[in-house]
Amino acid sequence: MSGNAPQGSSSEAKSEVTFLADEDQKPNIHSNPEFVNLKIYYQQDGSVTNYRVRRSTKLQKLLVAFCTHRSLDMKLFAILIDGHGFNLERTPQELQMEDGDEIEVMIHSSGGSTMLET
């Protein structure tokens, strides 16, 4: 049988990344230390989206889920933790991320120049 269970179902534990629509829906992290609750801050509109992620899941999978949910092209963004870029192949466990840690998503800005009047 192939198909994804609806989010929030009892088979949710099998999913690696789960969108949490509301702060009140956060699962009790102490009941399953295999997961961590992370926030994605989208600088463009100031929104914060909550996700429940397996500690062993590559962060690229989380960012793909975020970009799909928001209909965004991941190639257009800089992804930061504590103001620094990181390898998306890393996992929350490898980065020692804790419940409530935030990932920043911002539009790439390439270079920049100042026009000088002569």
Contact 42, 31 (CB under 8 A): no
Which residue type sits at 78? A
Q: What is the C-alpha separation between 82 and 32, in angstroms, rounded?
A: 26
Quote the pTM value. 0.69
Tokens coding 114? 């100042």
Q: Residue 98 in contact with residue 73, Cβ under 8 Å?
A: no
**Predicted confidence (pLDDT) per residue in 61-86, tens digit:** 999 999 999 999 989 999 999 999 99
Q: Give the distance from CA 63 to its chain's centroid.
A: 5
Angle 85-86-87 (CA atoms, 0-180°, nearest 5)? Answer: 140
| Domain definitions of the chain by residue range | 12-107
Indicate if the pLDDT at residue 10 is higher than 80: no
pLDDT digits (tens, 9 = 90+) for 34-48: 999 999 999 999 999
Architecture of the domain made up of 12-107: Roll (3.10)
What pLDDT, on a 0 to 100 scale, did the predictor assign at position 22?
A: 53
What are the residues facing 81 on neighbouring strands?
Answer: 84, 103
Phi, psi (deg, nearest 5) at residue 78: -95, 135
